[in-house]
Chain A
Amino acid sequence: MAEFEPKIVAFLCNWCAYRGADLAGTSRFHYPANVRVVRFMCSGSIDPVYVLEALLNGADGVLIAGCHLGNCHYQDGNYKAKHRVQVLKKILGQVGIDEDRVWLRWIDASEGKLFSDTVHQMVAEIRAKGPNPMRKPWKVWQDTVGFHLPEIESELKK
């Protein structure tokens, strides 16, 4: 049987983490294709509902990345993200959802290498965890997250 390939949804802030991911690309730092990036203007605008939607629809992991504390383009958005993710993880743990499937990391626009390393590390750890138990009853994540990439799907299955 082929090795389990986790699907990871990454919510990246426009100013730091997304630029970091961009830099990883232009610098040719390799990172696994398991990650699907959704760009947000700020990590502070990521309501827990988006993270929950991804998890409940079978994403194996959710990465939230924003500017380092003190560097937020909007002053304090990443502090809000930090508190929200703290609460979210605490809640997930208590209702029987593995909270370690949600990662919050600070990645600067200049840290392309860090983005690549983070994704490598996350894919490895989630792969070790195995599929999200919600993946079985909830197989429709492409539809509800709002995009559908059949080509990548078939690539991943190879």
Chain B
Amino acid sequence: MKVETVLKAEKGDILGTLRSFLGKLLEKGIVDYLLVPQEFSHGRTLAQTLVKDPSHLDKANPFSPVMPMNSAAIVSQLTGDKPKKKLGVVLKPCEIRALVELVKLGQASLENLIIIGTDCLGTYEVEDYAKLMDEMEGTSEEKGARILADMRRAIVEPGTTSLPISLRQACKMCNSFIPVLADIILGLFEEEKGVFVSLESEMAEKLGLEVKEAPGRQEIVTKLVASRTEVREQVFAGFREKMGSIVDFSDCLATCTRCYACSSACPICYCRVCFFRTDTFEPESERYFRWVEREDPLRMPTEILLYHLTRLNHVAASCVGCGMCESACPRALPLTTLFQAVGEGVQQALKYAPGRSLEEEIPLASFREAET
């Protein structure tokens, strides 16, 4: 049975409270290894780390305000041979959704895996965050705590952020920021300014936690879902209005250089060798001149629409909306809007929601004989 509690933060030290909680998970043997984001020594960014010793968590921040990559890809690496010991992974909701999709695609395993999901306050572009850290005064610890407090306030009272940078596009329009299918949930959406924890009652007993209610959590979540859904619908409506013809679609991808950064960053695009990176799309040079004889001018590099449309076909049904494609794009193309808006249409048609449950089959990988 799942129980809920609130960890009181000593002197408002949220990060310290979280670190000691994660440390206890390792000490009490609830997990043997822990995958958790930690700050780099220069303090300008965070990245996932794999930890065994609880004393190595002094820079950990499960609510990392940056997301250099979707960690589902890391969990896929770590669980390729089904871990023999218990592995705890601290993931954001969109990373859990991507992991669920990868499990269903046979690319990751949940065996011996304990998912520690965090409420997501949103994330910043890596470059924006590094610049902000350079500009702010104080130790990196103080800066981290101030940013966390600011982001938290912005969740409870939207529009109150004092930071000069804004969330990533995908985060701005994300309305599924509460983890589902997590064994342990770490949350900041409650009124007492502590840390909300939801976990199995046995775990709570092992950790010596008292069961407590989290006041106001549900209201905060409901309010934020509503306001984010509104933003989301506005963005999608704007996109759909613009997509009148194939020319508009082509215009929207005008500066694409076919560098494949979006596909490398995408957790769902898991093929080891992508068809688009083979010789198929590097024909002998004579062919380009034959093409331009008939089509003048010829858009170079060629096959840009084909690439994005094919990726849409392969990914749209399982797109979890993490926006890594757009963050990775050196030309800042509106990829997350494209994939999520088109993905929503596809997912509704298939009655499928990526990352929602492990039992629901991926429509492209399943069939029923009763179907007609």
Contact = CB atoms under 8 A, between A and B. Distances in A.
Interface stretch (B35-43, B98-106, B200-208, B338-346): B338-346
A137 interface: yes
Contacts of B314: 48
Contacts, number: 94
Main SS at interface, chain A: helix
Interface in A67-82: 69-70, 76, 79-80, 82
Given A90-B349, A140-B295, A49 B275 contact: yes
Contacts of B346: 87, 90-91
A56 interface: yes
Contacts of A139: 294-295
B313 interface: yes
Contacts of B363: 83, 87
Interface string B295-334: 1000000000110011011101100000000000000000
A134 B310 contact: no
Given A69-B372, A143-B291, A86 B312 contact: no
Interface residues of B, number: 36
Interface residues of A, number: 32
Contacts of A138: 295
A48 B305 CA distance: 13
Nearest to A136: B295
Interface in B222-278: 240, 243-249, 275
A91 B316 contact: yes
Contacts of B305: 52, 56
Interface in B154-194: none
B317 to A, nearest CB: 6
Contacts of B358: none
A140 B291 contact: yes
Contact of B342 (A49, A52, A70, A91): A91
B246 A69 contact: no
Contacts of A80: 364, 367
B246 A133 contact: yes
B313 A88 contact: yes
A52 B246 contact: no
Contact of B306 (A52, A86, A92): A52
A96 B306 contact: no
B84 interface: no
A90 B345 contact: yes
B290 interface: yes
B350 A87 contact: yes
Interface in B354-372: 363-364, 367-369, 371-372
B294 A91 contact: no
Given A87-B317, A95-B309, A134 B295 contact: no
A94 interface: yes
Contacts of B367: 76, 79-80, 82-83
A96 B294 contact: no
A80 B362 CA distance: 11
Nearest to A78: B367
A53 interface: yes
Contacts of B372: 69
B258 to A, nearest CB: 14
Most A C-beta atoms less than 10 A away, residue of B246, B363, B371: B246
A84 interface: yes
B309 A91 contact: yes
A94 B364 contact: no
Given A70-B369, A79-B371, A95 B317 contact: no
Contacts of A56: 305-306, 309
B240 A137 contact: no
Nearest to B349: A90
Nearest to B317: A87
A37 to B, nearest CB: 22
B245 A48 contact: no
30 contacts: A47-B275, A47-B310, A48-B309, A48-B313, A48-B314, A49-B306, A49-B313, A52-B309, A52-B313, A56-B309, A69-B371, A69-B372, A70-B369, A83-B350, A83-B364, A83-B367, A84-B364, A86-B350, A87-B313, A87-B316, A90-B346, A94-B341, A95-B249, A96-B244, A96-B245, A97-B246, A133-B245, A134-B246, A139-B294, A140-B295
Given A79-B367, A133-B246, 14 more contacts: A48-B314, A52-B306, A52-B309, A52-B310, A53-B306, A56-B306, A70-B369, A83-B364, A88-B313, A91-B312, A94-B240, A95-B249, A96-B245, A96-B249
Interface of A: 47-49, 52-53, 56, 69-70, 76, 79-80, 82-84, 86-88, 90-97, 133-134, 137-140, 143
Q: Which 5 A-B pairs have the closest CB atoms?
A: A79-B367, A48-B313, A96-B245, A95-B249, A49-B310
